[in-house]
Amino acid sequence: MQVNETAKEQFRPVIVAFCCNWCSYAGADLAGSSRLNYPADVKIIRVPCSCRVNPLFILRAFERGADGVILCGCHPGDCHYSTGNYYTRRRMTLLFSMLDYMGIERERTRVEWVSAAEGAKFAATMNDFISTVAKLGENRKLRDLRCKK
């Protein structure tokens, strides 16, 4: 039991964050330049707009061993491309129901709106998301047998 407990404590989730170039990526940069800490478990992928994120990318991440995926975009109404994040919102709503159906915990995927001015929100969101995913433990459901031992 003791061993298991330690193993659980040491579990570091793999988290992929998709950030839109105009708001959230800039928000992440602001979190950096304001020196706001959040765990190193999250790795950011820059996309032009949150609507560039194909739900398949998220499934791919889960397949390849990600424990959580977060998608960040501009606040509704503030999209650099006017309407991109509205598409994101609709697509992700559908993806959430699909992930539910597949038995993947809802808390492993998240959509957040972070503006370029919200460095603090970005850091807080990441801290919260990472601790949520860490509590859930490893994602085994979709793991790709090809790439894990």
Partner 1 sequence: MQKIGVFVCWCGSNIAATVDVKAVAEAAKQQPNVVYATDYQYMCSESGQTLIIDAIKEYGLTGVVICSCSPRMHETTFRKAVQKAGLNPYMLEIANIREQCSWIHKDIKEGTEKAIILMTAAVAKVQLNKPLIAGESAVTKRCLVIGGGIAGIQTALDVADAGFEVDIVEKKPTIGGKMAQLDKTFPTLDCAACILTPKMVDAAAHDKITLYTYSEVEAVKGFVGNFTVTIRKKARYVKENLCTGCGICTEKCPMKKQPNEFNMGLDKRGAIYIPFAQAVPKVPVIDPDACIKLKTGKCGICSKFCQVQAIDYTQKDELIEKKYGAIVVATGFNLIKLDKFGELSYGLCPDVVTSLEYERLMNAAGPTKGHLLRPSDGKEPKTIVFVQCVGSRGNSCKEKSYCSKVCCMYTAKHAMLTKDHYPDTDIYVFYIDVRTPGKNFDEFYRRAVEQYGVNYIKGQVGKVYEENGKVMVQGSDLLSNEQVLIPADMVVLATAIEPDESARKLGTMLTASMDTNDFFTEAHAKLRPVESPTAGIFLSGMAQGPKDIPETVSQAGAAAAKVIGLLAKDKLLGNPCVAHSDEMLCNGCSTCANVCPYGAIEYQNKEFRIPGGVETRRIAVVNEAVCQGCGACTVTCPSGAMDLKGFTNRQIMAEVDAICK
Helices (H), 11-118: 24-33, 55-63, 84-102
Q: How many residues bind partner 1 (CB under 8 A)?
A: 46
Selected range binding partner 1 among 2-10, 39-47, 104-112, 129-137, rule: CB under 8 A: 39-47
Minimum distance of partner 1 from residue 129's CB (angstroms)? 15
Choosing from 23, 49, 70, 114, the residue that interacts with partner 1 (CB under 8 A) is 49
Binding site for partner 1 (CB under 8 A): 14, 16, 21, 25-26, 28-29, 31-33, 35-38, 40, 43-49, 51-57, 60-61, 64-66, 77-84, 87, 91, 123, 147
